[in-house]
Amino acid sequence: MAKNVLILATRYDAATARTFEWAEDLHRQMFRFADSCMLVDATALCRAGSSLNEAIQASTHVIFYGHGETDRWIALPGTGASSSLIDDQSVSILNGRNVYAGCCSSLAVLGGAFKKKCSGGEFIGYKDTFGFDDDNEYEFRRASNQSVINFVDGTPASRIVSDLKAEWTSLNNSFASGHLRKRPNAVQAGHLADLNSQRIATP
Amino acid sequence: MEGNFERHGGLSDADYQAVLERLRTWASTHRRQSEQIIMIMGKSLTPHQFVHQIAEETEFGRSFLDYLRRQSEASVQTERPLRPQDFIDRAIQANR
């Protein structure tokens, strides 16, 4: 079965500028694991237009790096439905796709709507905020991007979640008492890795 | 943010004050003190804003204090037990 990956990412503030770099890194690596991989700056996409739908329909896996809320992925800064990339009302656009949400909180409502309205795909996301420390972002990038690669490579979502929980826990231990304990902001980074480990899940 | 964390994240008043004092030192000596470095997607924080979260005991602040308490308790099993504030001292040292 062909694997066609669509990476949607935004970059309009300090956090998303960094996660856009993660998306670019993932894009470069993904050619070894997928038949095709597109990286699209989602800031330019509007859910009312056809570009987003066409890109999703051409894909088997949809990855999002950016800001999220419980019921949506955010395309543009600001609030309101007009800034949504995909929300619980438009989630059917993801029908049949395997979805990885590298953002805050979208597991609860958006992931729940995906489970209810879509068939033939899996959804992985965070049930509350997702965080990283910028001075140690490489460690967070490595863990997150590897889990996306494993997902595209065919590992079931439940295993991805258990593996990533273990990876975030290991990273926490490394920052708290292991070989990364003397890094700048190590205790803050450990705390964020610990929170991430509690929040990655499937609907 | 989930979790109903205790006051001071379960730390004693003395440990909480010691942690807060050291966090203020950490923030004021940080080489990127005016930059957002703690990336909570949607609410990124500078070092001083991070300390504010702890001083105000927001839900995020309490979760950090709770984390410090758990790490300190876990270290009791090791050869070098650490107080909650010792983790911040390490972060201050890393700034130098």
Q: How far apart are the C-alpha atoms of A174 and A178, rounded to whole Å?
A: 4
Numbered residues of chain A with Cβ closer than 8 Å to any chain B Cβ: 13-16, 18-19, 66-69, 103-104, 127-135, 137, 176-177, 181-188, 190-192, 194-195, 198-199
Using the beta-carbon criterion (under 8 Å), do B38 and A127 form an inter-chain contact? Answer: no
Query: B75 to chain A: nearest residue by CA?
Result: A177
Query: A181 to chain B: nearest residue by CA?
Result: B90
pLDDT of B1 > 60? The answer is: no
Residue of higher predicted confidence among B4 and A113:
A113
Stretches where chain A sits below pLDDT 70 are 46-49, 79-82
- Amino acid code (one letter) for A93: I
Using the beta-carbon criterion (under 8 Å), do A192 and B38 form an inter-chain contact? Answer: yes
Using the beta-carbon criterion (under 8 Å), do A177 and B74 form an inter-chain contact? Answer: yes
Using the beta-carbon criterion (under 8 Å), do B75 and A185 form an inter-chain contact? Answer: no
Q: Which residues are registered as beta bridge partners of A126?
A: A200
- What are the b/e assignments for B12-34, b being 16+ CB within 10 Å? eeebbebbbebbbbbbeebeeee
Using the beta-carbon criterion (under 8 Å), do A190 and B71 form an inter-chain contact? Answer: yes
Using the beta-carbon criterion (under 8 Å), do A129 and B90 form an inter-chain contact? Answer: no
Q: How far apart are the C-alpha atoms of B36 and A147, rounded to whole Å?
A: 26
The confidence band for B42, taking pLDDT boundaries of 50, 70 and 90, is confident
* Contact (CB, 8 A) for A120 and A98: no
Residues contacting B30, CB < 8 A, separation 6+ = B37, B47, B95
Residue from B41, B75, B93 to probe the interface with A (highest A Cβ count within 10 Å): B41
Instruction: Give the pLDDT confidence of B43-92 residue by residue, as tens digits.
Output: 899 999 999 999 999 999 999 999 999 999 999 988 889 999 999 999 99
Between A and B, how many CB-CB pairs are < 8 A?
A: 95
* Contact (CB, 8 A) for A168 and A182: no
Q: Tokens representing B96?
A: 């130098």
Whole-number pLDDT of residue A49: 65
ipTM: 0.93
Pairing label, strands A68-69, A72-74: antiparallel
Whole-number pLDDT of residue A81: 59
**Shortest Cα distance, chain B CAs vs residue A135, angstroms:** 7
Of A67, A188, A194, the CB nearest to B38: A188
Using the beta-carbon criterion (under 8 Å), do A185 and B37 form an inter-chain contact? Answer: yes
pLDDT of B3 > 60? The answer is: yes
Set of chain A residues whose Cβ sits within 8 Å of the Cβ of B95? 184
Using the beta-carbon criterion (under 8 Å), do A184 and B38 form an inter-chain contact? Answer: no
Show the domains of chain A with their CATH numbers: 4-201 (3.40.50)
Of A129, A188, A194, the CB nearest to B42: A129
- Amino acid code (one letter) for A181: R
